[in-house]
Structure 1
């Protein structure tokens, strides 16, 4: 039996493109660039969190729709789609990196087995193995694609799907707790040393267990949108209002970063609500954006944008071989 047709949200295509642009501009700061890149690109890291929320929402919503209409998850179909969506461009990028050292933006690559098992983000030493480091986010997403459907099937098997919201809240609390523990164990003893930034990336920024809040937020939105008629009605009825709230919250968020010495290890806590509004607004007001969707559909194509993201560091390095510099972390 074929899976039900997935509800389309055109606004999310725009978000995907925006997230890619944000990350590209942020990473472009490593190379020779005009001054405005530093000014606006410093917020590009938020694009990664947006990717996680989008993935959590879109993937879990597909699975929730299958459960709602078919009372089962088409696991084989799901994994086949994920394979052909991700593996071909990812494999091509790996071939370029491992076959042509000239294209590497830094000196060394992590072990090949870490890339093919999608565990490169675990204990990633950015200083010594910084080449293709941006694959860390893909590793987290792939781990999510692999494990979440299996967890969801367990909830269905034991007829406990209605309790998944409590599981998500517990998971959110756990990832925050693990981040606090990691901060105390690894960052505090090494504060004010030249090694702090490397440890911060290795122990807090890259590991899966400290970066689950974005995916959990997306799953939570998808669950309530699919199973709560009141939530869905509210979102669809107040899309324009939520859109303007989202714009206001974004501006306040940016001002706060300018004014305060923000402890970025914990920024995701605030960014949960930031992204929640972002997704909800686009779910609710996607009709507003329909008239420009066709024009940018080509650049929003999943395959094109995904390969563009995977290979952007190679292109930047090739074009700026003599202009590379280190970002101040």
Structure 2
């Protein structure tokens, strides 16, 4: 019933929403560090890492669905084409940002006497970026302008591993469950202090293969089901609304729920590493399969926002830095609310414009080669 889906509508809108959450999270963290009145204590502004989990679940879902579909249609998977498509889409912008962050900006900041000290030197980090291990740069040197690249490294390693496994292992369900269970066992070891090495704990918590596996499980079940998913959701509408309400409560009212209940129901690792991913999978299936293509989320603005969400995610820290550096003295003298409005107006406009120009004049140059690859 769902074996030949070529496009999941409405999901671009949620890519866009997730990118916005990352901007607001990092914006408030950086504003707090620069003496602004910050709202980082409000739940809405604490969802940066949560939004990245959504991206991970979505990647696992979409990539796995495409691989399952290709294997069924051709009885094989072209690992070469799979890798080339990911390289063309991800590498140009990734390595552009790496060059900006470890070569161009340190040079410019030095000659322009900009008051910012990079926590690393190029010779210390270039190999980690080339190996798609930017999380280790943050682990070793602390926060920096390229910190958001950690999630790109995680996704790249997932892609590198996932396609060959899907090609060579026939029992896809067993593969997905094995990856999920292994990761859960490692998390149990971490949170029960059985694994205590700080580097090992960092890698286990950072490489969110449990999120991708949950997304992959959703793709597998969707592809193989004979159930009418739309009818199922209609029949169990209360359950779906309860799951969506839980997700909304987490995003917007986490602090309020904790205050009302007297304890943090969201703090346990099982929620953040498993339940939250399941909630995201439900959202993805509901939005991408159940919702009508004429829904409010399927419009040209949100669709384009999703298409440039990669650029939004990649450039936003640089734009935030520029706005802080150039406007700090002026913004700090304004009413906190007015300062907040002006700050995010500049950050959002700057990030969107940069992402748009990047897509049009940089990323699309490479994407034209991707269309020539056999699907």
Q: TM-score range by the shorter chain?
A: 0.7 to 0.9
Equivalence for 2:56: 52
> Does residue 221 of the first structure (1) align with residue 190 of the second (2)?
no
CA distance in 1, matches of 2:191, 2:30: 30
Q: Which runs of 5+ in 2 are unaligned?
A: 330-375
Contact 2:12 2:305 in 1 (8 A): no
2:273 aligns with one of 256, 268, 271: 268
Count of residues in Structure 1 that have an aligned counterpart in Structure 2: 299
Q: How does 1:234-273 map to 2 (within 5 A)?
A: 234-235=229-230, 237-238=232-233, 241=237, 244-253=241-250, 255=253, 258-259=257-258, 260-261=263-264, 262-263=266-267, 265-266=269-270, 267-273=272-278
1:312 CA drift (Å): 1.3
CA distance in 2, matches of 1:123, 1:108: 8
1:298 aligns with one of 289, 296, 304: 304
Equivalence for 1:116: 130
1:187 CA drift (Å): 9.0
Contact 1:54 1:218 in 2 (8 A): yes
Please report the TM-score for the alignment, with normalisation by the length of structure 1.
0.79
Q: Secondary structure at the match of 2:220?
A: helix
Q: How does 1:299-318 map to 2 (within 5 A)?
A: 299-301=305-307, 304-318=308-322
Please report the TM-score for the alignment, with normalisation by the length of structure 2.
0.70
1:67 aligns with one of 59, 67, 71: 71
Equivalence for 2:354: none
1:56 CA drift (Å): 0.4
Contact 1:243 1:285 in 2 (8 A): no
Equivalence for 1:194: none
> Does residue 153 of the first structure (1) align with residue 171 of the second (2)?
no
Q: Secondary structure at the match of 1:319?
A: helix
CA distance in 1, matches of 2:164, 2:196: 37
> Does residue 282 of the first structure (1) align with residue 287 of the second (2)?
yes
Distance 1:186 1:320, change over 3 A: farther
Query: 1:203-236 CA deviation, whole Å, 9 max, x = no partner?
Result: 5455467522110011001111112222xx2246
CA distance in 2, matches of 1:280, 1:47: 17
Equivalence for 1:326: none
Question: What RMSD in Å do the two structures reach over aligned CA positions?
Answer: 3.1
Equivalence for 2:176: 168
Distance 1:270 1:38, change over 3 A: same
Equivalence for 1:142: 156
CA distance in 1, matches of 2:301, 2:146: 31
Equivalence for 2:22: 23
Q: Which runs of 5+ in 1 are unaligned?
A: 190-198, 324-329
Q: Which protein is bigger by CA-based radius of gyration?
A: 2
CA distance in 1, matches of 2:195, 2:166: 35
